Amino acid sequence: MANTTPTNPRQDFAFSTEHVLNFLHIIVLVLSVLLIVTISVDTFKNVQYNNEPEFVKFEFWICVVFLVDFFFEMAVSPNKLKFFMGNILFFLVSIPYLPIIRYLDVPVGHLGAYVLRFMPFIRGGYALALVVGWFTSNKATSLFVTYLATLIAGVYFSSLIFYVFEHGANPLVTDYTDSLWWALMDCTTVGCNIIAVTPMGRVLSVLVAALGLMMFPIFTVYITSVITKIHSTNHDDGNDPGANMQS
């Protein structure tokens, strides 16, 4: 017998839209990781990735996928203006500035080239943080995972940028491990023997220390909340050790 159950076109559309969004989010996640890995490898090899034609092409197609994801979500959003304003930062970091400038042969000057050098870092880190939020459902866990990803990404990207500017100018930064050690110690506000000598390095020293001061209390509060919840659950189940001893 043929199935005569009527289907709801709106439900079918919502179901297919959700699948497309999940697929795009996975692609964005994979490309974000690849972008970070590519930048890292080039940095370790002392290669100026912005001057590599293959990297410029790779970055362009990554931006295209990011923009497709952005405009598709905006198209299916019930309030398009609200979606655009709420995700405008993601839109701005998704624009392929470097390929456009290279194609139009627009002179950007020293300051413009300086800023463009950091766009891949911002793009990869911001997209990665957003995707972490997409794939977490519990609000408390989502907040914790987002903060954890922000801390890890902040420390890692800061160590890369610190290495790019301090290597060669700072005799204490001989390889990337020195830069990573600096970032970890600066984030915990303990400090180490490596002191920044370039203006960018000094700015990063302040920002990384501030990042650690903001993030570590959040972890303390979250872990305390989890322990308190477990203790409360055990007490409600009658597993409180003090109650068993009194009985």
Residue 189 φ/ψ region, left for φ over 0, alpha for ψ in the -120 to 50 degree band, beta for the rest:
left
Closest CA to 21 of 121, 131, 123: 131
Closest CA to 132 of 154, 147, 122: 147
pLDDT confidence bin for 66, thresholds 50/70/90:
confident
Q: Are 87 and 70 in contact (CB under 8 A)?
A: yes
Query: Does pTM surpass 0.85?
Result: no
Give the model's pLDDT for residue 239: 54
Closest CA to 31 of 93, 132, 123, 112: 123
Mean pLDDT for 30-40 is 80
Domain covering 136-229 in this structure, CATH number: 1.10.287.70
Rounded to 5°, angle at Cα 81 from 76 and 84: 80
Give the model's pLDDT for residue 243: 47
* Beta-ladder partners of 170: 167
Give the model's pLDDT for residue 218: 73
Give the model's pLDDT for residue 182: 92
Domain layout of the chain by residue ranges? 13-132, 136-229
Q: Are 153 and 147 in contact (CB under 8 A)?
A: no
| pLDDT tens digits, 151-178 | 887 888 888 888 878 888 888 888 888 8
Q: Is the pLDDT of residue 131 over 70?
A: no
| pLDDT tens digits, 84-125 | 888 888 888 888 887 788 778 777 766 666 667 667 777 776
* Burial class of residue 28 in the structure, from the number of CB atoms within 10 Å of its CB (0-12 exposed, 13-18 middle, 19+ buried): buried
* Beta-ladder partners of 167: 170
Cβ neighbours around 5 below 10 Å, total:
5
Give the model's pLDDT for residue 245: 44
Percent of all residues in the chain with a pLDDT value above 90, rounded to a whole number: 2
Q: Tokens 């830069």, residue?
A: 179
The Cα 122–Cα 119 span in angstroms is 5
